[in-house]
């Protein structure tokens, strides 16, 4: 486990920019928590210890109080341990409610978000945690692209039906899966109305095993993949603990996806533009997909109004051919705006 | 005095021997049959081991159709398991005399189909070795957990329900074993003695047995209903179009009774033929149980109408897509074949007394049982192929489903396992509840005796009357 | 309004078209290397000074980040270039180096940094330079509760080592959030007055942490003279976040089941199983009875 070492407690003083009272109070908390401060993952240690220059600061999210601190990268120990303990991975980050906003008006369907996600999570090509759909409600309405991650519902149908508590809802709103407990009954896949969950039908490929390496398993990372268990978009909790946004957010060149903490009423897009969540939703008529199902999704959509790109072309056979043998009317599902 | 044509002792002796005869032989044909079943099972187990080794990817299931033939078969087998409860318990409660030769095979069918129905979800698991997680981390909010609890309860109950009426028969087997030379005598003696739990047929024992039977008969009915209700809940508790239905609980129960009672007829016909029970399982029995199946099929047809006509009238978006696929899309042929061929036409056939004769009834029931299986598939798979969000950019392999050889092999093995247990059971234990049928014969005999006595009395009375008339006539004559 | 939007859309599509045509001219040269452009900036934060080079290449008519480009940073002193450090660009095309104290300065107290791509395997040689001066941005909070005012003062050193205010610089006021700085209001830009001071009134209903703390951030962005400067200060101005006593309640989706489910299930199945037990007891009675001599 990467942990702040003893001497970092002292160095923490230097890294803390503030010197007034409030800042000191902050720091005192920091110091007190340092011993129990589980910082960032083995993944992080691997990435940064070799590449970053000495003295570089990394943002570190304290899981105790949900605050972000900056720590010197050299004081993060690299060891091959899961980012956080199993208990911590199940509890989630305190005082946070993660939320995502997807601006359909900006999405041009380039699937860079999907690519970033696939690469970061070593996802086999036949499944996409974040899938970009081409949607068209009815014949007369205009088609649009619809990126769909896991909605991390507050009333999650998947979590309700799990017989062994392998999938769980954390206090920060994230729904995760513990693949060391999952029995592979796929009840959750049947229960999810958004087709968000995927099953490891076979063992991960040799390339994947080599790429992932022999890292210890954590639900926050979902790696190494385990045959016979269910997986899905996880809002990248390992990144969040580092104070970084999910891969899809930073991977989107159009700044379609916003991510943030609902408790702070703020979301940030891939370019770092931070806006007020309530205002964003109010001004753009934000909605949730299939609100009538009552799943209380944590992902909001902004309708595709005033598009910044031409309307996508919908070919009759494009989805028809792949879906069914017979070309037929587009099966778009119900969708409310 | 009673009658020469109805010799009670002789009658009962014939019955006992008829019932015990199959347990004493294990002929060439039986050996071939068992060998065949074992071969099918071996192949199925091989396929299952492959599935364990290489993952569920060896089946045709993929992410969109994540439940396929295994879960359909699970529902089907659990449905068949309702037979025992229905025929045995309901007919017992209503004191239907004709149930007597049927109960044992019905109860056995329940027991066996529960065994193999219960393992279907385990076969379907990605990590069957983690099954103990259900105990360690079990969540009672999960419908699957309700299934586990409910099926275990039903399994225990139906095992007891099968065992209770076997006790006197076990004693009979134990006592008769010494009479005739058989193979595996030592083993059989040990088995029968153990299972007879010291049955001597004392008054207290009979009293206790009747009491337990009475309790079980009542308890097993709500338990059976609960089982199929919660089996439907693994679907009905989801938001998916086609499953999101309040009628599912009773719909599944009705479907279970419909297929289960048809299953009982098949069992009856098979034992009648193989073990020569023609004397006991008469065309009248088939006619009567045929009427039961008819009534249940009508209920099932009614619920089918509810299940499809109500949403079809509204054609709500997501459900509408599913229904169009069923009514005139990819699944229309199989859907209408099921509705007409296995529900409506059987109703017509069984409505006529000629349709309830043994041969047409058995054929109808075979169709019903297969139809019930296919219908479970039609409940599970098309819904999975019609999620709320469209299926896009997926290869055909991932977006369509038809079970492949692995699933067929494993299910064939399950079926073979069921038949094997039934076969082995019938080679060890009498396939009719001997004492119950005896009781029936005794009642008949009593009736016969009563009739004879009545006749006698009437005759005597008439004689006396005639005498009296004569006397009175004489008396009348005298003054004249 | 609609017509304006249409025009904008049209303009965008025309631009797109144009870019597509020009894309043909942007093919990599015979060397197989791409032509990259560097954007260089200086960032000063409370605890760090960095030089950031953003390297982009034109691909299909669009500028996209150049990945894995090795950028060498030089400090210029009396027209002599001295290599500071090298860094490779990340997936956003950014190469960042930390600047140590004591950079050489010219007579105007300005430093010059040159970023170069030299003999890179993937990209053509190119370079970019920038000049910047040191400035200090200090923040202070309004001690009174009446208004949540943040006062920022921007100063620079003159040649005598005296702090002098910087006038006319645009400062932006933000609230620090988890993943970035959120503008503190609609118009969050204030220009410094002759005392180098800019003041901004923060809203009173900014969500803070459980203690009601927020962090205010003030930035000067891409100033021609001073680069970017950012300064932060915590303030107990936020609305306190209610601490959820039990984040894991008994719920259908929770770990622990709601009581009605537990009670219903255990009652129903408790009854059934107790009947089973009573039956097993009766079976034992039958067995016991069988052990007795025949009556």
Residue B474 is predicted with a pLDDT of 66
Residue B54 inside a domain? The answer is: no
**Mean predicted lDDT score pLDDT of chain B:** 89
Residue A20: pLDDT band by 50, 70, 90 thresholds? Answer: very low
Interchain proximity C177–A268, CB inside 8 Å: yes
The three-class DSSP label of residue A300 is strand
B36-62 mean pLDDT: 95
Strands (E), A224-291: 230-231, 257-261, 266-269, 274-276
| % of chain A with per-residue pLDDT over 90 | 52
Q: Give the tens place of pLDDT for each residue, A119-143.
A: 999 999 888 999 999 998 888 888 9
Domains of chain A, CATH where assigned = 6-81 (no CATH), 98-302 (3.30.70.20)
* Predicted pLDDT of residue A153: 95
Smallest Cβ–Cβ distance between A57 and the set C48, C85, C91 belongs to: C48
Taking an 8 Å cut-off on Cβ atoms, the answer to whether B139 and C269 are in contact is: no
CA–CA distance, B182 with B217 (Å, rounded to integer) = 35
State residue C269's pLDDT score: 94
**Neighbouring C-beta atoms of residue B404, cutoff 10 Å:** 15
Contact B387 A133 (CB under 8 A): no
B422 in a structural domain: no
Q: Give the integer Cα–Cα distance in Å for A198 and A207.
A: 20
**Is B164 contained in some domain?**
yes
Domain residues for B327? Answer: 59-403
CA atoms of A245 and C179, how far apart (whole Å)? 7
Residue B256 included in any domain: yes
Taking a contact as any Cβ pair under 8 Å apart, which residues of chain B between 45 and 104 contact chain A? 54-58, 61-64, 66-67
pLDDT(A228) > 70: yes
Closest residue of A to C179, CA-based? A268
pLDDT greater than 80 at residue C26: no
pLDDT level of residue A331 (50, 70, 90 thresholds)? very low
**In 3-state terms, what secondary structure has residue B187?**
helix
pLDDT of A329 reads 39
* pLDDT tens-place string over residues A245-304: 999 998 888 899 999 999 999 999 988 899 999 999 999 999 999 999 999 999 999 999
Q: Is B226 on the interface with C (CB under 8 A)?
A: yes
Where does the pLDDT of residue C83 fall: very low under 50, low under 70, confident under 90, or very high at 90 and above?
confident
Kindly indicate whether the ipTM for this predicted assembly is greater than 0.90, answering yes or no: no
Q: Which residues of A touch C255 (CB under 8 A)?
A: 165, 168
Q: Do A157 and B131 touch (CB under 8 A)?
A: no
For chain C, the average pLDDT equals 82
User: Is any Cβ of chain A less than 8 angstroms from the Cβ of B141?
Assistant: yes
Q: Measured between beta carbons, which residues in chain A are less than 8 angstroms from residue B128?
A: 183
User: Hey, what domains does chain C have and what are their CATH numbers?
Assistant: 32-133 (2.60.40.10), 135-235 (2.60.40.10)
**Residue A40: its pLDDT value, please?**
39
Chosen from C253, C256, C258, C265 to mutate, greatest number of chain A CBs within 10 A: C253
Closest residue in C to A264 (Cα–Cα): C207
Distance CA A128, CA A147 (A): 11
Q: Which of residues 105-134 of A touch C (CB under 8 A)?
A: none
CA C142 to chain CA centroid, Å, is 27
Q: Which residues from chain A sit within 8 angstroms of residue B399, using beta carbons?
A: 322-323
Instruction: Write out chain A residues lying below 8 Å of B125, CB-based.
Output: 183-185, 228
The CATH code of the domain that includes B67 is 1.20.1630.10
Mean pLDDT check: name the lowest of A308-322, B133-147, C55-69. A308-322
| Region B216-228 average pLDDT | 92
CB–CB contacts below 8 A, B to C: 70
| Helix, coil or strand: residue A249 | helix
In this structure, of B474-478, C36-40, C268-272, the range with the lowest mean pLDDT score is B474-478
Condensed to tens digits (0 to 9), the pLDDT of residues A107-118 reads 999 899 999 999
- State how many domains chain B has: 1
What's the CA gap between B289 and B271, in Å, rounded? 16
Q: What is the reported pLDDT for A335?
A: 37
Cα A167 off chain centre by = 15
Q: Lowest-pLDDT range, A5-19, B89-103, B182-196? A: A5-19
Q: Does any domain span residue B433?
A: no
Closest Cβ–Cβ partner in B140, B164, B196 for C261: B140
**CA distance readout (Å), B6 to A138, B283, C252:** 79, 21, 65
In a domain? residue B319: yes
∠B283-B286-B288 over CA atoms, to 5°? 110
- Scanning every residue of chain C, which has its alpha carbon at the shortest distance from the alpha carbon of B213? C279
pLDDT interval class at B412 (50, 70, 90): very high
- pLDDT at residue A93 greater than cutoff 60: yes
Residue B173 has pLDDT above 90, yes or no: no
Q: Average pLDDT in the B286-292 region?
A: 93
- Report the percentage of chain B scoring pLDDT > 70: 96
Going by C-beta distance under 8 Å and a sequence separation of 6 or more, which residues neighbour residue B4?
Answer: none
Q: Show which subunits contact A, needing at least 3 CB pairs below 8 angstroms.
A: B, C
Q: What is the pLDDT of residues A150-161, one digit of tens each?
A: 999 999 999 999
Q: What is the pLDDT of residues A40-76, one digit of tens each?
A: 333 333 333 334 444 455 555 555 555 655 555 545 4
| B314 part of contact set with chain A, CB < 8 Å | no
What is residue B148's predicted lDDT score, i.e. its pLDDT? 94
Q: Which of the residue ranges A175-179, B415-419, C66-70 would you say has the lowest mean pLDDT?
A: C66-70
Q: Is A77 in contact with A2 (CB distance < 8 Å)?
A: yes
Percent of chain B with pLDDT over 90: 65
Q: Does residue B446 lie in a domain region?
A: no
Specify the pLDDT at position A121.
93
Q: Which residues contact A22 (CB under 8 A, 6 or more apart)?
A: C213, C233, C234, C235, C236
CB-based contact (8 Å) between A133 and chain B?
Answer: yes
Q: Does the residue B225 lie in any domain?
A: yes
Q: Is B208 on the interface with C (CB under 8 A)?
A: yes
Helices (H), ranges, chain A: 6-15, 21-34, 42-51, 86-91, 112-121, 157-161, 187-191, 206-212, 237-241, 247-251, 277-283, 316-323
Residues in chain C closer than 8 A to B202 (CB atoms): 289-290, 294-295
The residue-averaged pLDDT of A206-235 equals 91
């Amino acid at each position: 486990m990467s942990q702040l070492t003893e001497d970092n407690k002292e160095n923490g003083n230097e890294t803390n920019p503030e010197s007034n009272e409030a800042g000191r109070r902050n720091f005192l908390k920091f110091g007190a928590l340092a011993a129990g401060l589980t910082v960032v993952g083995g993944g992080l240690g691997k990435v940064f210890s070799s590449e970053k220059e000495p003295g570089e600061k990394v943002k570190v999210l304290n899981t105790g109080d949900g605050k972000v601190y900056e720590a010197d990268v050299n004081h993060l120990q690299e060891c091959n341990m899961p980012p956080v303990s199993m208990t911590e991975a199940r509890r989630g980050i305190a005082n946070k409610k993660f939320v995502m906003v997807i601006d359909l008006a900006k999405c041009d369907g380039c699937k860079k978000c999907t690519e970033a996600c696939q690469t970061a999570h070593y996802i086999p090509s036949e499944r996409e945690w974040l899938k970009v759909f081409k949607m068209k409600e009815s014949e007369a309405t205009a088609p649009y692209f619809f990126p769909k991650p896991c909605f991390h519902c507050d009333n999650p149908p998947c979590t309700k039906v799990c017989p062994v508590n392998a999938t769980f809802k954390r206090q920060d709103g994230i729904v995760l899966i513990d693949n060391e407990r999952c029995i592979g009954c796929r009840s959750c896949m049947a229960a999810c109305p958004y087709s968000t969950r995927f099953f490891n039908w076979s063992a991960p490929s040799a390339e994947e095993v080599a790429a992932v390496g022999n890292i210890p398993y954590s639900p926050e990372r979902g790696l190494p993949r385990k045959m016979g268990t269910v997986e899905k978009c996880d809002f990248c909790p390992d990144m969040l603990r580092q104070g970084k946004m999910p891969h899809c957010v930073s991977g989107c060149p159009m700044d379609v996806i916003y991510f943030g903490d609902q408790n702070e009423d703020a979301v940030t897009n891939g370019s770092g533009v931070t806006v007020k969540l309530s205002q964003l939703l109010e001004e753009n008529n934000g909605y949730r997909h299939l609100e009538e199902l009552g799943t209380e999704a944590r992902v909001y959509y902004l309708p595709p109004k005033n598009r910044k790109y031409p309307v996508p072309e919908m070919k009759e056979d494009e989805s028809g051919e792949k879906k069914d043998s017979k070309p037929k009317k587009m099966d778009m599902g119900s969708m409310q705006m | 005095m009673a009658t020469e044509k109805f010799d009670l002792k002789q009658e009962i002796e014939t019955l006992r021997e008829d019932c015990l005869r199959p347990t004493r032989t294990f002929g060439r044909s039986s050996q071939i049959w068992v060998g065949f079943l074992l071969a099918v099972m071996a192949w199925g187990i091989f396929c299952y081991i492959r599935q364990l080794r290489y993952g569920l990817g060896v089946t045709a299931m993929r992410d969109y159709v994540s439940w396929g033939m295994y879960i359909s078969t699970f529902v089907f087998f659990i449905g068949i398991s309702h037979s025992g409860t229905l025929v045995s318990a309901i007919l017992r409660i209503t004191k239907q005399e004709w149930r007597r030769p049927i109960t044992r095979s019905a109860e056995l069918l329940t027991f066996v189909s529960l065994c193999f129905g219960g393992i279907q979800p385990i076969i379907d698991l990605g990590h069957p070795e983690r099954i103990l997680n259900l105990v360690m981390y079990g969540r009672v909010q999960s419908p699957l957990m309700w299934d586990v609890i409910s099926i275990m309860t039903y399994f225990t109950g139906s095992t007891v329900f099968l065992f209770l009426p076997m006790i006197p028969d076990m004693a009979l087997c134990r006592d008769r074993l010494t009479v005739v030379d058989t193979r595996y005598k030592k083993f059989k003696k040990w088995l029968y003695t153990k299972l007879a739990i010291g049955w001597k047929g004392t008054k207290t024992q009979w009293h206790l047995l009747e009491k337990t039977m009475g309790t079980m008969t009542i308890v097993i009915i709500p338990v059976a209903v609960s089982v199929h209700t919660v089996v439907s809940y693994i679907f009905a508790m989801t938001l998916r179009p086609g499953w999101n239905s309040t009628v599912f609980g009773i719909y599944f129960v009705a479907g279970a009774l419909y297929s289960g009672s048809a299953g009982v007829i098949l069992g009856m016909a098979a034992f009648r033929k193989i073990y020569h029970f023609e004397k006991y399982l008469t065309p009248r029995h088939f006619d009567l149980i045929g009427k039961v199946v008819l009534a249940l099929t009508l209920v099932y047809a009614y619920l089918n109408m509810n299940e499809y006509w109500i949403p079809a009238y509204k054609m709500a978006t997501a459900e509408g897509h599913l229904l169009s696929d069923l009514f005139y899309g990819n699944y229309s042929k199989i859907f209408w074949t099921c509705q007409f061929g296995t529900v409506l036409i059987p109703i017509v056939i069984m409505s006529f007394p000629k349709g309830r004769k043994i041969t047409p009834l058995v054929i109808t029931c075979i169709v019903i049982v297969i139809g019930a299986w296919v219908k479970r598939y039609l409940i599970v798979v098309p819904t999975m192929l019609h999620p709320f969000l469209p299926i896009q950019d997926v290869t055909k392999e991932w977006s369509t489903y038809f079970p492949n050889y692995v699933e067929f092999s494993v299910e064939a093995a399950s079926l073979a396992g069921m038949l094997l247990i039934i076969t082995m059971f019938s080679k060890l234990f009498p396939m009719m509840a001997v004492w119950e049928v005896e009781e029936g014969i005794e009642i008949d005999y009593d009736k016969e005796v009563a009739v004879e006595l009545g006749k006698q009395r009437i005759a005597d009375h008439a004689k006396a009357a005639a005498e009296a008339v004569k006397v009175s006539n004489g008396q009348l004559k005298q003054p004249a | 309004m609609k017509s304006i939007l249409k025009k904008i859309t049209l303009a965008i599509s025309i631009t797109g078209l144009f870019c597509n045509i020009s894309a043909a001219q942007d093919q990599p040269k015979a060397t197989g290397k791409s032509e990259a452009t560097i954007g260089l900036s200086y960032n000063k934060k409370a605890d760090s000074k960095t030089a950031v080079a953003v390297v982009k290449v034109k691909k299909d008519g669009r500028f996209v980040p150049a990945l894995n480009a090795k950028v060498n940073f030089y400090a210029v002193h009396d027209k002599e270039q001295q290599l500071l450090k090298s860094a490779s660009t990340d997936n956003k095309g950014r190469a960042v180096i930390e600047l140590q104290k004591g950079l050489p300065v010219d007579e105007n107290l300005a430093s010059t940094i040159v970023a170069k791509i030299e003999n890179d395997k993937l990209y053509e040689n190119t370079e970019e330079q920038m000049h910047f001066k040191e400035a200090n941005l200090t923040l202070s909070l309004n001690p009174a509760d009446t208004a949540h005012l943040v006062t920022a003062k921007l100063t620079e050193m003159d040649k005598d080592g005296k702090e002098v205010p910087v006038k006319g610089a645009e400062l932006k006021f933000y609230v620090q959030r988890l993943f970035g700085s959120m503008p503190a209001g609609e118009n969050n830009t204030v220009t410094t007055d002759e005392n180098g001071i800019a003041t901004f009134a923060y809203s009173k209903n900014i969500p803070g942490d459980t203690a009601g703390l927020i962090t205010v951030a003030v930035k000067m962005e891409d100033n021609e003279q001073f680069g970017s400067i950012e300064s932060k200060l915590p303030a107990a101005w936020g609305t306190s976040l209610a601490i959820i006593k039990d984040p894991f309640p008994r719920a259908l989706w929770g770990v622990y089941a709601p009581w009605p489910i537990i009670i219903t299930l255990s009652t129903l199945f408790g009854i059934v199983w107790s009947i089973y037990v009573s039956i097993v007891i009766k079976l034992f009675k039958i067995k016991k009875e069988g052990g007795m001599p025949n009556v």
